[in-house]
Amino acid sequence: MSTTLLNMFHLDGSSSMPLYLQLVHTVKAAIDSGQLRPGDAVPSEREMVEKLVVARGTVRKAFQQLFEEGILVRNQGSGTFVAPHVRQSLPLLESFSEMADASGGKAQSELVGYQRRIATAEERGTLQMNNDKSEVVELTRLRKINGIAVSLQTAVLPAGLLSTINELDESLYLHLEKKGSPVLCATQRFSAVAADGKLAHHLNIKENEPLLLVTRKGYTHNNIPVEFTKTWCLNDYYDFTIELHKNTP
């Protein structure tokens, strides 16, 4: 760990505030100021103890609070990192790349699956396909921010909008815009689900852990549906905000 990074952490022994809380606030301040960004590694407990000259229990208590608040995340074997936070203020329509940028991180995707196939009955109804032989493209990607996996997403769209996987860059929405079918509006449904074996494997969690499932239907010009997306989100990393207004006479 670089000396520069360690130097941003300071504690005041004369303060009435407990040392572990000072460390909690110092870490949060470094994140708020941009000195630490989503995905950045933070010094280990041992390095903090040596730098700050405090008891290991003090650092451990501060880290535990930061873990519980979702500020930091620990990856076994690789260290402790600033947790990414995907924030979306509904009803603002944003792509994953735009939400990642707004959080101060960089969107990344790992291709898990790609296939061209006959649409299911549910997909035909959602995408308004009348032919039983209509084809769709199914694209499954592990979504990451600064290298940390935050969700698994499966997007289904009419096959004519994505001939080959090589057409797609990072953003599906940017691709659809280039195709002349930008997503202009969408509906979203939220539900709580338990991770099955496939989700647990890709998200590196245990089976039956709770996830947030976001189901989105996206529409382009003339209210034509162009995407049917399911995103299984790790709860620690997502924050959806909805503004409510009282209905007045």
116 close to 159: Cβ distance less than 8 angstroms: yes
Q: 202 and 229, same structural domain?
A: yes
Domain range for 55 is 3-82
**Which of 65-79, 145-159, 190-204, 214-228 shows the lowest per-residue confidence on average (mean pLDDT)?**
65-79
Prediction pTM value: 0.75
With 60 as the cut, is the pLDDT of residue 4 above it? no
pLDDT at 2: 47
pLDDT classification of 206: cutoffs 50, 70, 90: very high
Counting Cβ atoms within 10 Å, is residue 66 exposed (0-12), middle (13-18) or buried (19+)? buried
Print burial letters for 185-196: b (CB count within 10 Å at least 16), e (below 16): ebebeeeeeebe
CATH of the domain at 60: 1.10.10.10
Whether residues 133 and 62 fall in one domain: no
What confidence tens digit (pLDDT) does each residue in 95-151 have? 888 887 777 778 888 999 999 999 999 999 999 999 999 999 999 999 998 788 899
| Structural domain contains residue 248 | no
Helix (H) or strand (E) holding 226: strand 225-233
pLDDT higher than threshold 80 for residue 208: yes
- 174, 97: one domain: yes
Q: What is the pLDDT of residue 1?
A: 45
If one counts the domains in the chain, the total is 2
Residues 137 and 190 in one domain: yes
Query: For residue range 36-69, what is the model confidence (pLDDT) as tens digits?
Result: 888 888 888 888 888 888 999 999 999 999 988 8
Amino acid at 193: V
- The verdict on 137 and 208 lying in the same domain is yes
